[in-house]
Amino acid sequence: MAKLDATAFAAPGPGTWVLDAVHFHGPVSRYHGDLFPACVRDGFRDGTRRYGLLFDTLDFRIVNGFAYFCAMPVPEAETAARIVTAEAAYGARLWRDDMDRWENEVRPESIRVGRELQAIDPATLTDDELVAYVDRCIAHHRRMIHQHHTFNVAALLPVGDLMASVAAWTGLPLGPIVALVRGAAPESAGTFPELDALAVALREHVSVEAFLDPKLSPAEIISRLRADPGEVGEAARTYLDLVGHRLLDSVDAA
């Protein structure tokens, strides 16, 4: 077996570069490698500027198909202004405003556009329409990656503040403290109102066993749930249309 040439994995720039084994379990597809780094970098920077953080962004680079990142310091010329911004953001608990904006504006609109794109059957499009459709999907994907990372600070800062404060008050290690918030986000805990509605519909159906027959394959069960003309089918289609195309073990869409 040929030995791997270590020089082929030279750092792509100055600083400490870390392999991203959280978002990717292996090499990154060419599509995602072209899309991901700039969207993360620009989105993260928008978030750190909004909150006045003294680190600027995460610089992602693809090296031989693998994703690496490096934490970039804030430009010296921005340091003083960021300190002022941080004091104002922390005093106003800015993350509460961002949470409200996320729940009531950003998230619903993102889901609406995603469902609108998802409802289009590519097989029905002409060549020109298909090209335009793919362009729309890629543009939406770019916006969602960027948008996701603009909200990173709003999600991480209050949790970090909680951990630091409780550790200072109690002397406890950080592990048990961060465990306090486990399951606080419904989506992270795997719960959705749409899934709850499906569970209620199934419980109230007179012949629920017909849908969940253990002799059926998972694909057959899903097909049977989708095809039901009543409340079970409506609830199943609503839930599966929301989560049916989600990635399971990587953020790589290709």
Residues 1-29 have pLDDT tens digits of 455 555 578 888 899 999 998 888 889 99
* Average pLDDT of the chain to the nearest whole number: 90
Rounded to 5 degrees, φ, ψ at 228 are -60, 130
Residue 74: pLDDT above 70? yes
Q: Read off the pLDDT of each residue in 201-221 and give the average, rounded to a whole number.
A: 83
Distance CA 21, CA 33 (A): 14
Sheet bearing 18-19, strands edge to edge: 18-19, 66-73, 55-63
Q: Which residue has the higher pLDDT, 209 or 28?
A: 28
Dig out the tokens for 125 from the structure.
Answer: 């499009």
Q: How far apart are CA 229 and CA 214, in angstroms?
A: 22
Listed residue (150, 136, 4, 122) closest to 66, CA to CA: 4
Q: Which of 23-37, 149-163, 189-203 has the lowest mean pLDDT?
A: 189-203
Please report, rounded to a whole number, the percentage of residues in the chain having pLDDT higher than 70.
95
Q: What is the pTM of this model?
A: 0.84
Q: Which position has the token pair 């953020």?
A: 251
Residue 64 in this model has a pLDDT that exceeds 80 = yes
Write down the pLDDT at residue 1: 44
Mean pLDDT of 226-248: 87
pLDDT > 90? residue 67:
yes
Provide the token pair at 196. Answer: 């709850």
